């Protein structure tokens, strides 16, 4: 679900694309969500939330939280943001709703007219989990320096799929035998981040060039 938060009048949130906020829930609980839009629109914040069945916040969001509800948060938080001073080509790797901070980063590069080559890989289970197709199509048609590879881990029988399959980090490793030239940004489930940390340095990635945002579950 895309959740849009409208800040109170005369309030704005300054943040770096890629950062996240923490929703403050009852009993001192918190849930972190990445900001999916760039700060220009910071009066309206966009979040992408995956339904975790029985999940304290995500399940409630789909079942009982109504439009207009008042939510509280703290932020911005985190050090996952684009290092603008680098001139190196960029690999952006998203797992599931890890697309949210990656989208904010891409929108920022477009707004700044930055033409560093960007290759976006997005790993999801099935084709139905690829959302915002029209936004990606628009990027592909207007940004010649940006390319996109969707990767399905469970293509199943759901329509025809001629694209990449398997784990998203493996698709990147297959396409790029030598990763030494790149800056790599990864967002999504902790297992994805761990796989990248383990396998990418063996193909030449300098670990100083790896930036990641692990969507770990909140404790308790
Ligand atoms: C920095 C950061 C950024 C994040 N950004 C996003 C984001 O942009 N979008 C987003 O959807 N999530 C994001 N998350 C994850 C998010 O904070 C919550 O953990 C997630 O939404 C589940 O919260 P919940 O209250 O719905 O479920 P909970 O009540 O926390 O979990 C219910 C049960 O499901 C299990 N569980 C929780 N999450 C998962 C999962 N992903 N897969 C399988 N089992 C699970 C738990 O162990 C528990 O047993 C981020 C996390 C971090 C740390």
Last residue of one domain, picked from the residues 77, 103, 129 = 77
Provide the token pair at 216: 């770990």
Asked, for residue 48, whether it belongs to a domain, the answer is: yes
Residue nearest to atom 45 of ligand 1 (CA): 52
> Global pTM?
0.95
What is the 113 CA–ligand 1 centroid distance (Å)? Answer: 34
CATH number at residue 6: 2.40.30.10
The CB of 182 under 6 Å from ligand 1? The reply is: no
Residues 119 and 53 in one domain: no
Residues 58 and 96 in one domain: no
Distance of alpha carbon 121 from the chain centroid: 11
Are the C-beta atoms of residues 168 and 93 closer than 8 Å to each other?
A: yes
Domain membership of residue 60 as a residue range:
2-77
- The CB density around residue 204, as the number of other CB atoms within 10 Å, is 14
* pLDDT one-digit tens code per residue, 93-139: 999 999 999 999 999 999 999 999 999 999 999 999 999 999 999 99
For 104-125, b/e burial (b = at least 16 CB within 10 A) is bbbbbbbeeebeeebbbbbbbe
Asked, for residue 220, whether it belongs to a domain, the answer is: no
* pLDDT one-digit tens code per residue, 147-203: 999 999 999 866 789 999 999 999 999 999 999 999 999 999 999 999 999 999 999
Residue nearest to atom 14 of ligand 1 (CA): 215
């Amino acid at each position: 679900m895309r959740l849009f938060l409208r800040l109170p009048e005369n309030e704005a949130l300054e943040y770096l694309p890629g950062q996240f906020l923490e929703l403050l829930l009852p009993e001192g609980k918190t849930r972190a969500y990445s900001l999916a839009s760039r700060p220009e629109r910071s009066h309206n914040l966009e979040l992408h939330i995956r339904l975790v069945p029985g999940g304290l916040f995500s399940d409630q969001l789909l079942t009982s939280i109504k439009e207009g509800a008042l939510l509280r948060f703290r932020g911005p938080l985190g050090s996952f943001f684009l290092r603008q001073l680098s001139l190196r080509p960029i690999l952006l790797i998203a797992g599931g709703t890890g697309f949210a901070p990656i989208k904010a980063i891409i929108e920022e590069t477009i707004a700044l007219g930055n033409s560093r080559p960007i290759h976006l890989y997005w790993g999801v289970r099935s084709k139905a989990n690829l959302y915002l197709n029209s936004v990606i199509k628009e990027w592909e048609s207007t940004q010649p320096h940006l390319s996109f590879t969707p990767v399905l881990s469970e293509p199943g029988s759901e329509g025809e799929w001629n694209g990449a399959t398997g784990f998203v980090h493996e698709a990147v490793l297959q396409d790029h035998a030598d990763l030494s030239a790149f800056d790599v940004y990864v967002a999504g489930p902790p297992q994805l981040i761990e796989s990248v940390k383990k396998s990418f340095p063996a193909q030449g990635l300098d670990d100083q060039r790896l930036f990641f945002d692990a969507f770990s579950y909140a404790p308790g």
